[in-house]
Structures are given as C-alpha cells and as structure tokens.
A and B are shown apart, each in its own frame.
Chain A
Amino acid sequence: MFATLLQKELKSILLSPKFPATFAVCAGLLILSISIGIHEYQVTTRQYETATQMVTQELREQAHWSGVNNRTYRKPDPMQIFVSGVSNDIGRWSGVSQFEPVKLRHSAYSDDAIFAIFRFIDFGFIVQVILSLFAFLFTYDAINGERESGTLALTFSHPIPRTTYLLAKIAGSWLGLVIPLLLPVTVGVLLLVLFRIPFEASHWMKLGGLLGVSMLYFSFFVTLGVCISSLTRRSNVSFLLCLVAWVFLILIVPRVGVIIAGQAVPVPTVAEIEAQQDAYSKDKNEQHMKSMEAKFRDREALMSGMTKEQREQYENDHMWSWMEENDADQKQITKDIEAQGVKLQEDLRNRKALQERLAFSLSRFSPASAYQLAVMSIAGTDITLKSRYEDGLRSYRTILNAFTEKKQKETGDVGGIRITMDSEKGMSISAPKENGTLDLTDMPQFAPPANASVMPVTDIGILVFAILAAFGGAIAGFLRYDMRS
C-alpha cells in the first residue's frame, strides 16, 4: 500500500510542471556554485602559494634575525567550495613578528566589497533558501489540493490508513526534492575529481555530513508543508501560510536573534577597545614621565652642592644604575600596558562569545539557523575559524620569537644600531656586520589549525525535533481532516 502511494506521489511530482522547473533551478544553481567555488578555490590556492613563496623569499633576503617580520597566510580549504561560511569575511593573512600583534587582515570581502553585497551562493545557501522554498512549493497543496481536486475522497474510499497516506505524501515529496539535489551534487563531485581538488577522506566524510544534514533540513520543510496543508481546507490559504512561515523562519528569526543578542549583551567596538588601550597607555606613560621627572629632581637635589668635577664624577658613577633603573621602569610600563591590552582583548572575546551564544541560541528557534550553523560547523568555516587561526598564529608567534631570539644569541647579531656606554672608553656606536641571507632551514613553520570539524549534535537535534513536531502537527491535522470535497 505504502509503495503504491509513494510511487504515485513520486510519479505525480515528476510529471508535474513543478519538477522540471525545480530541477532546472537546482541543477543550474548547484553546478554553477560548485564550478565557481572550484575556480575560487584554485585562484585562492594559487594566491596562497605565491604569497607564501614571496614571504619565504623576503625572509631569506633579510640580513638579520632581529626584527624578522614574517607574514602568514590562511590556507584555503576545499570545503569552502560547498560552504563558504565566514571564510570570505575574515582576513587572509597576519603579520607574525615581535612588534605587532596577531590579527588577520584583508578579507576577500574587504578587498572586493561588491562580493559582500552580493554574497557567494554556495551549496549551503541554495539548500537553506532555495530548496526550502521548493519544499513548500511541493507540499503546500499536498492534502488540501487533493481535496479540492476531488481525488482525496476517491482515494479514501479505499481501505487506506491515514498515517500511511501521510507518510507516503511526505516521502514522495522528499524524494522529489532529493533528485534535484543529488544529481547536480554528483556532477559537482565529478567536477572536483576532474579539476583535481585535493579532497581527502575527511573531506568526503564532511561532504557526506553536509548532504545528510541538508536532507534533514528539507525534510523539515517538506513535513511542515504537509502539516500546513493538512490543517487548512484551501490551497491558496496554505500557500500563503507556507510563504509566511518561510519568510519568518528564513529571514526574520535568525536576524531577530542576532539583534536581540546585540541589545542584551553590548560588545565594545574595536575602536572603543583601542581608545581604552590608548588612554591606559597614555596614562601610564604620563605617570612614567612624572616619575622620571621626580627622580631627575631627586638626583639634581643630591648633586646640588657639588662642584662641576664632583658632579661629573657622580654622574659617571651612577649613570649605569640610573639607566638600569629607567629601563626597568620602562619595561614594567610596557608590561602593564600589554597586560591591560590582553585583559581588554580577553574581555572583548568573552563578551563576544556571550553575545554569540545568546544570538545562536535565539536564532536556533528557526531550523534554518540550526542548519546554517550545522553545515558551517561540519565544513569548518564557522564563526570559530578566525579565533582558531589567530590562536594558532599566536602560538606560532611565541615559537617564532623564541627561535629568532635564540638565533640572535647564537649569531650575536641583534641587528639595528648598538650604543655602548663604557666608563673607561666612554660611549661608542656600532652597526652589526652584514651576514648576507638568512638560513631558514630550521625556522619553525606555521601549521594551519586542524580543521576542527565538529559534529553539530545540538543543531542536528533541533532539526530532528522540528521534523517530529511538524510530523506530529501533520498527523493531528490529518487524522481529523474532512475528506469531503
């Protein structure tokens, strides 16, 4: 019985004008997006390789280990072809040196703002926005359309359990959507192989995960469409309700969640943080200057009754200790300023994390958000991508700084200009000798953070719950449904 109903449902969908339209749009968009994704991946990979080689060459050409200024680029990931996530929003490279903090700069969208306006249409977007709409188009009249056309009464003059009929309706519509999804994805996979995109076992598993979650996602919209159809008598009403539900779930809830979180947990802007840091730094430096002035006055007071010769002698005797004292003060101030910077950054990150958690929790009321977060998490292009990279870069910076210091000590070469104060020889200025190019063979290399693909259990759980809730609604509606035309 189920097989007969399912077969008919599928046949109806395949023969209806909806199917070729859906198939053409899905196939066209998916193949186009995968093709563009492959092209973009190849371009960014070439840029990455060229830039990395240039940085290595620049490093090699530097004369001194002191002040080695490395620049590290973010390695493109082939999963970006399917789910670009935040990869185009975050910077592509960061300087790694003793003198500048780690910060990813120059995102693809900041370089080409037009792409930020018309964002990249990837697999995730097509499923989230377009396939969900098609799911409603397939199902909004699943039940009431049959009632209106008079076939429901004839069908139910036969001994058919209502739940079997409902399941066949859902399964038929679901299969009708799987075909427009899987066929172009198969073509996309062939393109990956054809263009020799380095897809490893882990990438194939992730792609499988993406497809699985996508099927769960549009199962929800198929079930919800059938649910709405089984709760209404007229198909024009259910069409309108489906449209409202789609707008609400896809466009409104995710954004409202973020807006509420933004209001509930205010996060200072980067400019505010920098202003706070500057103020602290200025305050500390002023304190230091006042302290220096006080010390200078004290020293002057001590030398006030001395002759010129005694004064010079006294200054020569104490110059070194004074310099050490000043240097220690300066170092302490620098340390305090850095500590304050770390504290402010940590506070910023904590606030951002809290805001993100709240925004995600609220937006997850829509399965569309749960789906988006799930596929980004599987593809490894989620919101943690930036912090993962920056954390990795910070660790690398520590290792690189230790390495360059070690190299400086080994070569006795600290670079710059050396000013030497000697009580006997007086002050002398010297420049280090040129060493030629640097040998980078044992220089630590940056290892991109492991693509921490996390199984999005919460989001999958939300999708499953949403499907069950919609199915429950459909069953409740259909068990009481009046079959009469």
Chain B
Amino acid sequence: MEQTPATQPMIEALGLTKRYEDETLALDNVSFAVRTGQIYAMLGGNGAGKTTTINIFLNFIDPTAGEARIDGIVTHKEPLKAKAKVAYVSENVMLYPNFTAIQNLDYFARLGGKTSYTKNDYHDVLRRVGLEDEAHTKRLRSYSKGMRQKCGIAIAILKDAPAILLDEPTSGLDPKAGFEFLGLLTSLRDEGKAILMSTHDIFRAKEIADMVGIMNAGKLVMQRTQSSLAGENLEELYLQFMAGSVERAA
C-alpha cells in the first residue's frame, strides 16, 4: 500500500458545500479530516448531509463549493484517481443476485484493478468477514441483508484501498452481526486504513471511532476526538446539539 505522509489526511473535506438546483442546502461549509489508522464517525439524523458528503467523496455529485480529497486528490477534478484509493460500503449492499459470492468478489476485485487474487483468497476474505463456507458458492439471491453487508465489506477489503467510506453500514444488522462488523472495522483501522463512517448508532460510534462529528441540517455542528469524549455522555451531547439546532431553526 502506498504510504501517505503522516501529516496529510487520507480523507479530507474542505469547506464542502452542496446546494441543489431547487436551492436546498444539503451541505454547508463542512470540513473534517481522517488520517490513516483512524475511524471517523459522522452522526446525524435523516437529511443531515451524511450521505451527501459520502456521495461527493465518490464523485456521484459535484460540490457547489469546497473540495473533497482522498489522499490529497480532489475527487471532482480527478475522480478516477481518487476512486482508485477508496473502497465503499453502502447502507444496503446490493450485489448481482445471479452470481455467487465468489463471482461477485472476483468481479469487483477486478474492477478495483486486483487481478491476481485466487479463489482461495476470496474464500479467506469471506471467512474473515464471517461468512460460512457453504455460503461462498451460493447465489446472492438467497442471501440475507447481513450476509450481503459482509460481502460488501469483503469487497472493500479486497480492494485494499487506503480509504474506506461506509454509509450506515450497520443499519438493519442484528446485534451479533453488528458486533462482528465493528470488530472487522477495528482490524481494518489497525491495518492503517482511514475510515469514514456515517451512522445513526451513537453507542457503536463511541465505541470504535477515533473522531466523532455530529451533523445537522447540512452543518457539522460538533467534532470531538475519542479522548475528549471519554468523560462525556455522547448520547446526551448528540441530543443537545440536535435540540439546539431545532431551537435555532425555530
């Protein structure tokens, strides 16, 4: 993996603003940075701007102002270069239902430029994410949501990108699967990946995130390191910020 200078954030938002054609302000001057070996949890309710932020990092939409950078590459200026350095897991991982897990993995690994993986590598990574061996050669149409999420994270692992974007990855997972998922994220962080995760799950965010940001109505209203949150009740803080914004809006 290409090494990034310790001072340069792997994932960086600089004054990110998105105003849609109907004048809706989805993001308002959002800035944050995620360094290698860090997990950044973006908290916020529906419509807070979390998914919009991730979509800008993936160049699915262009920012109205500001820049999203992956390893210093501005995503809307050099999208292909930036995408080569990022893996993505969506809230609801959808893969090709007529393909087996191995076939899906092989396809997406090749799209990520990884052509040297063997079948054993695919089996290993599927085992790593917690998929039983007999499921590896089953078509995805028979998979539950949890199994698909595991496949999604396996695809992200195989891409071996220095940055990982996760959009509500634990949404809809049962507690056991959610717990296993967090274990995987921790191991990926330990491997030196920079992880940006949007989530509603305050407890899990507090548990594993190195940085927590709270977004509301397109604004990053709070940003704290894990150490600064040690003595605080994150849930209370979250509710305070949300309520505060509601009051401001009112």
Contact = CB atoms under 8 A, between A and B. Distances in A.
Interface of A: 1, 4-5, 8, 11-12, 15-16, 149-151, 153-161, 482-485
A485 B54 CA distance: 13
Given A4-B110, A158-B111, A150 B60 contact: no
Contacts of A156: 58, 60, 83
A51 to B, nearest CB: 57
Interface string B85-125: 01110101111111100010001101111000000000000
B81 interface: yes
A448 B238 CA distance: 92
B98 A16 contact: yes
B96 A12 contact: yes
Given A12-B96, A154-B108, 14 more contacts: A4-B107, A4-B110, A4-B111, A11-B103, A150-B93, A151-B95, A153-B60, A156-B83, A157-B165, A159-B80, A159-B84, A160-B83, A483-B60, A485-B92
A482 B110 CA distance: 23
Contacts, number: 73
A157 B83 contact: yes
Contacts of A155: 108, 111
B155 A154 contact: yes
A154 B98 CA distance: 16
14 contacts: A4-B110, A8-B107, A12-B96, A16-B98, A151-B94, A154-B90, A154-B152, A155-B111, A156-B83, A158-B111, A159-B81, A484-B55, A485-B90, A485-B92
A483 B94 CA distance: 14
Contacts of A160: 80, 83, 111
B61 interface: yes
A304 to B, nearest CB: 109
Given A154-B108, A159-B81, A482-B60, A15 B99 contact: yes
Interface of B: 55, 58, 60-61, 79-81, 83-84, 86-88, 90, 92-99, 103, 107-108, 110-113, 152, 155, 159, 165
B69 to A, nearest CB: 16
B103 A1 contact: no
A150 B152 CA distance: 12
A96 to B, nearest CB: 64
Q: Which of A151, A157, A484 has the most CB of B within 10 A?
A: A157
Contacts of A16: 98
A153 B99 CA distance: 18
Contacts of B165: 157
B57 to A, nearest CB: 9
A484 B58 CA distance: 10
A4 B110 CA distance: 7
Contacts of A150: 90, 92-94
A484 B59 CA distance: 10
B98 A12 contact: yes
Nearest to A149: B94
Nearest to B167: A153
State the 6 A-B residue pairs at the shortest beta-carbon distance, nearest first: A150-B94, A157-B88, A158-B111, A15-B98, A159-B80, A4-B110
Q: Which of A15, A149, A154, A484 has the most CB of B within 10 A?
A: A154
A215 B107 CA distance: 28
Nearest to B156: A157
A143 to B, nearest CB: 14
